[in-house]
Amino acid sequence: MRIRTSLAVATAAGAVALGAFAVPAAHADETPNAAAKVSSYLKDVKADAAAKAGAKAGRSGVRYVDGDVTIDKVTVNGNQDIVAGTSAVKTVNIYVTATDPSGIYDAYAMLWHGTDIDDPDGVDGYVLPEQEADCDNWSATSATCKLTLKVDPKSDLWDSSLAGKWNVYAGALGNDGDLMDDDAYKNVWIKRAAQITSMNASPEPVKKGKTITATANLSRASWSYLKYYGYGSQSVQLQFAKSGSSTYTTVKTVKTSSTGALKTTATANASGTWRFYFPKNGTTSAATSAGDYVAVN
C-alpha cells in the first residue's frame, strides 16, 4: 500500500511521539507479536513527520492533502542477501533516495516479514532502525538518507521459519510536509548461514590416475535453537583448482546425507586443491569449504 500525504503541522501528541522515535528501537523478542510493534513504528513515523512539518510551519493542528514527494531508490545491504548465523549481530544499512520540489527533510525504513502489514496475523517478524536517518541533500530537491539496522539472530530472528523473503518499508518526508511511504517498496532476503567443515581429500600424495576420496559436512544455522545442524539432501559441488591456478572447476555434484555428510570420489590427474561448494538457495546462504591440497606423483 502506497500512502502519499502532506503533514502540514503538528499536535502536542506528535511532538511527544517524536521524542520517543529518536530513542533506538528495541529488538523483537521471541513472541510473534510483530504486527503490534510494526503498527506502533508506523504511527511513530506519522507523528514524527507531523511534528517536523509543524515545527517548520509554526502552527497547531494537522491537515492532510495530496503531496508530490517520490521515493526514487532504496538500497538494502548493498543489494546483497543478509546472512545471519547463531550469534553475530549483522549491521545493515538502508539508503533511501527521494525527491520533492521543496527538498527532502527526512526518511524512514524498516524490514518486516509476513503477508499483510495491516493484518495482526499477517506480520511475524521485524527489524527497526537504530536511530533517525542521516540525510545527504545532494541537490535542492533530492537527498539520499542512510538508516542503520542491526539484525540479531538471538532476538530479531526468533524462528528459522523467518528465513527467506522480507519486505522493505520505506518513507520520505519533504521540506513542505509531504510524506510518501510504501509498506513493501521492495524485497530483501534474510538467509540462514551455511558452512562446510571437516574437508579432507585423501590419500595424500596420490599416484596420477588414481582415486581420491573427499569428505566434509554441510550444516546451517538454526535460529530456533541457535546452533548449527546438518543440512541433508542438498546438492553440493566438488571443485578442483590445478596447482598454480586460483580458478576452480566443478568436477561433479553430489548430495549430502540426511545428516549433512559429504563423501565422494574423483580421479586425480594433476596436483591441486580440492574443495566443496554449496550454492545459495531461497533460505540459506552459499558456503565454501576450506581447500585441501593433494600432490599427484
pLDDT tens sequence across 131-175: 999 999 999 999 999 999 999 999 999 999 999 999 999 999 988
Q: Please state, rounded to an integer, the average pLDDT across all residues of the chain.
A: 87
For residues 103-119, give the mean pLDDT: 93
Segment 220-242, tens digit of pLDDT: 999 999 999 999 999 999 999 99
| Proportion of the chain above pLDDT 90, given as a percent | 71
CATH annotation of 2-191: 2.60.40.10
pLDDT at position 257 is: 98
| Proportion of the chain above pLDDT 70, given as a percent | 85
Nearest to 148 by CA among 280, 24, 277: 24
**Residue corresponding to grid cell 524490514:** 111
Segment 169-192, tens digit of pLDDT: 999 998 888 888 999 999 999 999
Tell me the three cell numbers of residue 222: 538454526
Q: What residue ranges do the domains of the chain occupy?
A: 2-191, 194-294
For residues 27-44, give the mean pLDDT: 73
- Please state the pTM of the whole predicted model: 0.85
State residue 228 phi and psi, 5-degree precision: -95, 135
CATH level 2 (architecture), domain 194-294: Sandwich (2.60)
pLDDT band at 214 (very low <50, low <70, confident <90, very high): very high
* Stronger pLDDT, 67 or 215, i.e. the higher one: 215
pLDDT at position 57 is: 56
pLDDT at position 58 is: 55
**E strands, the chain, in order:** 2-7, 64-65, 70-76, 82-84, 90-99, 104-114, 123-127, 134-136, 142-151, 164-174, 178-192, 194-202, 211-222, 227-230, 235-242, 249-255, 261-267, 272-278, 287-288, 292-294
For residues 77-85, give the mean pLDDT: 98
Nearest to 168 by CA among 90, 100, 73: 73
Q: Does the bond joining 203 to the residue before it have cis omega, within 30 degrees of 0?
A: yes
pLDDT band at 71 (very low <50, low <70, confident <90, very high): very high
**Residue corresponding to grid cell 600432490:** 295
Segment 48-63, tens digit of pLDDT: 887 887 676 554 433 4
Asked whether this chain's domains 2-191 and 194-294 adopt the same fold, the reply is: yes
Q: What is the rounded end-to-end Cα distance, in angstroms, of the chain?
A: 66
For residues 117-137, give the mean pLDDT: 92
* Stronger pLDDT, 278 or 20, i.e. the higher one: 278
pLDDT at position 56 is: 65
Segment 254-296, tens digit of pLDDT: 999 999 999 999 999 999 999 999 999 999 999 999 999 999 9
For residues 189-208, give the mean pLDDT: 97
pLDDT at position 47 is: 85
